[in-house]
């Protein structure tokens, strides 16, 4: 091109705005002699509910990950060089009497003390993603993304005297839990349209692709790009269209009836999940659509901050593909029954497989002279160690990506007992460029990453 292409270039059309991935034409002329400019570092945190069976999660020794991973982590076997297992991290402020699930989810990203309250009287703290959003959100079109497959309201009690608001993962401040995007179509429209409601409906009626609306802009751009950038753009447009088609198929699928789940120990569980459980295949497709859209959001630098809850705490979702129909939360209260711990472990492995899908998608997405994953830090874990004891110490945590050099993956890193989980969040904040010295109950930045 005769001049450098701006990193913020957007293809415009009638009601549509398609951001671009990182292209060679975006490299400043002054940097060509020394190599391409470094892409930004992004952060994502994926939440799994109800803890896990730690015997099937934790590698036996610290150091390089073993040739054979523990059963729950085996879906990550092909990605051993891309993630680390972190043990010893604790959410001390999530500890308290009763309401273990509510305290775990609300305290996971806030690292704040959760107060036992009902109704609209609740208090947690600002979550790490919103600290990042406040610091670096002005560098992108969307300050942060908050995603979930289902969402509780903010009124009433959902866990033995704890407000339903505590089933929200992200908090703008101590009294403002953030709503999540729970429909992949809504996320697609947020990323690719100027007026999601109006023009999303128009495209639905006309059955047209968002790419149809920016075709002229795209043609003009491609004529002025080099062969490598044209190929990258073709691949990017193909990915957008494939996502549109998957979302359209998902919309046409019939809404399943709520499952008949027997709640044995906490009756309110059905209240939280009855409208959101649905069929496993629909949940799985939604999870992967969200993952693919997150990759596009990072690839186009539409945002650098994202959280994603696979399910809410106390989720009673069933996974018939695993060969049984026991609800997840019921199995988490296993009482060390071997049959229950085996099924509990298999659900955890199923969840890890979805994380593996996301990590692999990032690894396959080229950026600069490496991959998108090289420029991301993606944490995965739960605010509960084991659902049977509602323990908030020694949490199950994975960290994927290199974060632009902030993390050397492929290891099991064992930290001192009771090391605050907030130390990891502080390290991630600094890695994405947020100049923060303290977060929650942190005692310093997590070292040895």
Report pLDDT for 273. 40
Pairing of strands 366-367, 370-371: antiparallel
Q: Are 18 and 11 in contact (CB under 8 A)?
A: yes
Give 8 or 262, the one with higher predicted confidence.
8
Report pLDDT for 20. 75
On average, the pLDDT of the chain sits at 83
- CA–CA distance, 140 with 34 (Å, rounded to integer): 26
Residue 246 φ/ψ, nearest 5 degrees: -65, -40
Lowest-confidence segment of 2-16, 129-143, 311-325 by average pLDDT? 2-16
Give 272 or 45, the one with higher predicted confidence.
45
Report pLDDT for 94. 79
Residue in the structure block whose two tokens are 């690292």:
111
- Checking if the pLDDT of 32 tops 70, the result is no
- Checking if the pLDDT of 162 tops 90, the result is no
Task: Give me the residues paired with residue 124 across strands.
Answer: none
Q: Where are the domains of the chain?
A: 42-198+269-431
Residue in the structure block whose two tokens are 């036992």:
116
Note the CATH number of domain 42-198+269-431.
3.40.720
- Checking if the pLDDT of 30 tops 60, the result is no
- CA–CA distance, 296 with 203 (Å, rounded to integer): 20
- CA–CA distance, 85 with 103 (Å, rounded to integer): 23
If you average pLDDT over residues 59-85, what whole number do you get? 97
Give 265 or 388, the one with higher predicted confidence.
388
Closest CA to 425 of 411, 439, 405: 439
- Checking if the pLDDT of 272 tops 50, the result is no
- pLDDT tens-digit readout, 230-264: 877 787 778 778 778 778 776 665 544 444 433 33
- Checking if the pLDDT of 100 tops 90, the result is no
Residue 6 CB neighbours (<10 A): 10
Closest CA to 41 of 290, 396, 368, 309: 368
Torsion of CA 431, 437, 440, 446, to 10 degrees: 50
If you average pLDDT over residues 218-231, what whole number do you get? 76
- CA–CA distance, 241 with 199 (Å, rounded to integer): 17
The model's confidence at residue 271, banded by pLDDT at 50, 70 and 90, is very low
If you average pLDDT over residues 357-383, what whole number do you get? 96
Residues 338-376 as b or e (16 or more Cβ within 10 Å = b): eebbebbbbbbbbbbebbbbbbbbbbebbbbeebbbbbb
Report pLDDT for 230. 80
Report pLDDT for 395. 96
The model's confidence at residue 175, banded by pLDDT at 50, 70 and 90, is confident
- pLDDT tens-digit readout, 282-299: 899 999 999 999 999 999
């Amino acid at each position: 091109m005769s001049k450098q292409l701006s990193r913020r270039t957007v293809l415009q059309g009638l009601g549509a705005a398609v951001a671009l991935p990182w292209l060679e034409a975006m490299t400043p002329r002054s940097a060509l002699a020394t190599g391409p400019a470094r892409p930004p570092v992004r952060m994502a945190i994926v939440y799994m509910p109800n803890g896990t069976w730690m015997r099937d999660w934790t590698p036996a020794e610290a150091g390089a990950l073993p040739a054979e991973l523990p059963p729950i982590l085996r879906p990550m076997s092909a990605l051993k060089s891309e993630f680390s297992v972190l043990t010893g991290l604790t959410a001390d402020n999530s500890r308290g009497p009763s309401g273990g699930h509510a305290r775990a989810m609300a305290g996971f990203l806030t690292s704040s003390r959760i107060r036992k309250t009902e109704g609209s009287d609740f208090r947690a703290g600002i979550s790490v993603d919103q600290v990042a959003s406040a610091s670096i959100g002005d560098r992108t079109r969307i300050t942060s993304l908050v995603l979930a497959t289902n969402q509780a309201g903010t009124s009433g009690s959902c866990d033995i005297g704890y407000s339903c608001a505590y089933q929200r993962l992200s908090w703008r401040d101590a009294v403002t839990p953030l709503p999540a995007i729970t429909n992949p179509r809504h996320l697609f429209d947020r990323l690719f349209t100027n007026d999601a409601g109006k023009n999303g409906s128009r495209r639905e009626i006309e059955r047209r692709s968002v790419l149809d609306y920016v075709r002229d802009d795209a043609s003009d751009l491609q004529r002025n790009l080099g062969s490598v950038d044209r190929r990258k753009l073709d691949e990017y447009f193909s990915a957008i269209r494939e996502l549109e088609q998957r979302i359209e198929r998902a919309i046409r699928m019939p809404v399943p009836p709520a499952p008949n789940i027997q709640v044995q120990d906490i009756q309110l569980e059905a209240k939280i999940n009855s409208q959101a459980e649905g069929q496993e295949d629909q949940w799985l497709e939604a999870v992967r659509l969200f993952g693919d859209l997150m990759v596009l959001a990072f690839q186009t630098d539409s945002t650098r901050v994202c959280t994603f809850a696979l399910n809410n705490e106390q989720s009673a979702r069933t996974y018939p593909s695993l060969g049984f129909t026991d609800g997840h939360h019921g199995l988490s209260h296993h009482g060390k029954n071997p049959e229950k711990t085996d099924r509990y472990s298999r659900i955890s492995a199923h969840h890890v497989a979805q994380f593996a899908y996301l990590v692999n998608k990032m690894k396959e997405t080229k950026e600069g002279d490496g991959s998108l994953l090289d420029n991301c830090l993606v944490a995965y874990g739960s605010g509960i160690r084991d659902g049977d004891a509602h323990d908030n110490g020694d949490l199950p945590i994975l960290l994927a990506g290199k974060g632009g050099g902030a993390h050397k993956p492929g290891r099991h890193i064992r930290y001192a007992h009771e090391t605050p989980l907030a130390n990891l969040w502080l390290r991630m904040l600094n890695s994405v460029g947020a100049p923060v010295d303290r977060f929650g109950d942190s005692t310093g930045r997590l070292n040895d990453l």
